[in-house]
A and B are shown apart, each in its own frame.
Chain A
Amino acid sequence: MGKHFIPIWFFIGSLLTIYGVLILGSGIYGLFVPPSNPVTMSHLHIGIWWGAGMFLLGLAYVVRFRPNRKDM
């Protein structure tokens, strides 16, 4: 693009990274302190998998599209 925006992908990556940490953390907490009303299929601990996936995806976007990268 002609203008020097911080790429939208960087913002998306940042948010996904933070969300990933929160959801992963919440999932791990649920492992040790099971909720009183567990959701269906809670044995899958989907929060842990989803949070980890979001964290990795977000991190990849942050690194790839970070501002001031030479090849941007």
Chain B
Amino acid sequence: MLAAWFLGGTNARLSLSPVDLIIIVLYFVLVLGLGFYLRRFTNTGEEFFMAGREMTAWIAGLSFISANLGSLEMMGYAAATYQYGILVGHAYWIGAIPAILFLSLVMMPFYYICKTHSVPGYLKLRYGEGARSLSAISFAVMTILMSGINMYSMAVIMKVILGWDIHFSIWVSSLTVALYVMAGGLLSAIFNEVLQFFLIWIGCLVVPVVGLIETGGWTGMVHRIQTNFPGQDFIHMWSTTGSFTGNPMGVHWTGIVFGWGLAISFGYWTTDFLVVQRVMAAKDLRSAQLGTVIGAFFKMMVPLIVILPGLLALAVLPFHLVPENQGGLPNAHTYNEALPLMLARYCSPGLLGLGVTALVAGFMSGMAGNVTAFTTVWTYDIYKPFIRKDAADSHYVSMGRWCSLLGVFVSIGTAYLVMNFSSIIVYAQAVFVFFIVPMFGTVILGMLWKRTTPAAGFWGLLAGILTSFALWAWVRMDPNALRHVAFSEHAKDMAENVYRAMWSLIVNVVVTVAVSLFTKPKPEHELKGLVYGLTELAPEGHFPVFRRPITWAAAVAVGFVLLNVLFW
């Protein structure tokens, strides 16, 4: 029965052999075994929710990047590359690297020194209950919503590609995550994410390696793309962004720099607790900072296994992929199938199982990230302050374990809800992004400007969130509004997102500053350990140069600049 589900129906794009099936099953056995093995090490709140704050830089860093590398991220960006070309690579470079390095060098000391359990926890210390509650509730709701949407999307893809039963995919994958997170908390999630990191890379790297051999290297690939899509530029990152119409995405460089590189990127990488939680679990501040830099390095390399397969699909597939809304046509393959099709093209039995395991591992690492972040925020930022203040530590651990299971069940419910209202996916993703963007303005002003007041923290955050909602609704009701929101009626979804993020951040910052000027700030002694200038940072001078985070951050920054110049 299980084999019948796994091996797929006759309509599946790919068919798995018995050796592929063994590889997939072994993976499930190991992640569950790891979870139960680690259960004995997670008895206190600090151990369950923060992995005992004992992670090395490498484990924290690989987990940090793995939690972000979900299956939707992998398949979605490969699909977007097929649609928009190498421009999508900005999500990995300017849309990530500066923000991650900023998190490491500037923000991590404050997160780490104040010993908070979460980003909303930092807002509580800095601004008080109002800002914490707003961020915690919006984060918890959005995390669960996104988790369910990711789950459903993954199940749909597995059904289309492998013929797996949609309910089977949802229940088996998510219950596996629930069990290992429930057993070992963040520790289990982090250990599994490191394992998943290896599987994702080794499983997906087959495609670019064999693909480049087939096309005769980069030059051969570019030549084939130009032959297949004459007159379209898919291979330049900056040179086509001087106008809105010069590139497939319909975006101007200002949108990429200020919307993507500043608003979305800094919002996500510096304040989304899903990723920040991983490095907050490091054993000391230097490990937290180094782990973040290690994450930045691997983030910079992810285009190898995501963007390059999308470009190779443009070069070698004998047919053109189509948008999702045309996926029902006979023999039509959609953009989302780009990466699975490339896996099928090159992967023989065994390797195909490894590739599918990589996709499943990606989904599970992303979902575990959502579940552990939700569990921590729910327990420490909602349940503890509002429902049961003074319980024993063991009570909160127990709440965390059950909350992991509950979070997964609610996510499954969301997945079924989405199944009936599939257009929610598009809307919810946009809304999710913009819940986080204004948080960056609130956090960074709180960290760097001691004059920022508790009232400003709350009202700035609320104004940013409402702005993002209002702009989104405006464009939905009146499509002509796109020319005001995104400066061009040619802007595609992704371009619209980056400009909306920019507006949301601007409103957040303006309101926060304005309210600060008219309200009373906290006294300085209450801001120690939370704000720049009032926080004592441990000097790094006694460490050799090659062990300092700043050294490796500089090396990553140089690599970032070189890559942008190389693919200009």
A residues engaging B (CB < 8 A)? 1-3, 5-6, 8, 11-12, 15-16, 18-19, 22-23, 25-27, 30, 35, 38-42, 44, 46-47, 50-51, 54
* Residue from A1, A18, A30 in contact with B56 in the complex, judged by beta carbons closer than 8 Å: A1
In the complex formed, the residue of A with least CB distance to B37 is: A6
* Residue from B26, B202, B345, B350 in contact with A40 in the complex, judged by beta carbons closer than 8 Å: B345
B169 CB, nearest partner CB in chain A, Å: 22
Q: Is the CB of B30 within 8 A of A26?
A: no
Q: Which residues of B contact A8 (CB under 8 A)?
A: 59, 191, 194-195
Q: Is the CB of B23 within 8 A of A1?
A: no
Within 8 A of A (CB), among B284-328: 316
Q: Is the CB of B34 within 8 A of A46?
A: no
Q: Which residues of A contact B26 (CB under 8 A)?
A: 15, 18-19
Q: Which residues of B contact A50 (CB under 8 A)?
A: 202, 206, 351, 354
Q: Is the CB of B195 within 8 A of A47?
A: no
Q: Is B258 an interface residue (CB 8 A)?
A: no
Which 3 A-B pairs give the minimum distances between C-beta atoms?
A: A26-B350, A23-B350, A47-B348
In the complex formed, the residue of A with least CB distance to B198 is: A12
Q: How far is the CA of A26 from the CA of B346 in the complex (A)?
A: 15
User: What are 16 residue pairs bridging A and B, where the CB atoms are less than 8 Å apart in the complex?
Assistant: A5-B38, A15-B30, A15-B195, A15-B199, A22-B19, A22-B350, A23-B23, A26-B19, A26-B350, A38-B348, A39-B344, A39-B348, A41-B346, A44-B210, A46-B206, A47-B350
| Interface contacts beyond A25-B350, A30-B348, A40-B316: sample of 17 additional A-B pairs, CB < 8 Å, sorted by A | A1-B55, A2-B52, A11-B191, A12-B194, A22-B22, A23-B354, A26-B350, A39-B345, A39-B348, A40-B210, A41-B213, A41-B214, A47-B348, A47-B350, A47-B351, A50-B351, A51-B350
Q: A11-B195, A46-B206 are in contact. Are A39 and B347 (CB under 8 A)?
A: yes
Q: How far is the CA of A10 from the CA of B23 in the complex (A)?
A: 18
Q: Is B54 an interface residue (CB 8 A)?
A: yes
B350 CB, nearest partner CB in chain A, Å: 4
Q: Is B111 an interface residue (CB 8 A)?
A: no
Q: Is the CB of A35 within 8 A of B283?
A: no
* Residue from A12, A18, A42, A54 in contact with B195 in the complex, judged by beta carbons closer than 8 Å: A12
Q: How far is the CA of A15 from the CA of B191 in the complex (A)?
A: 14
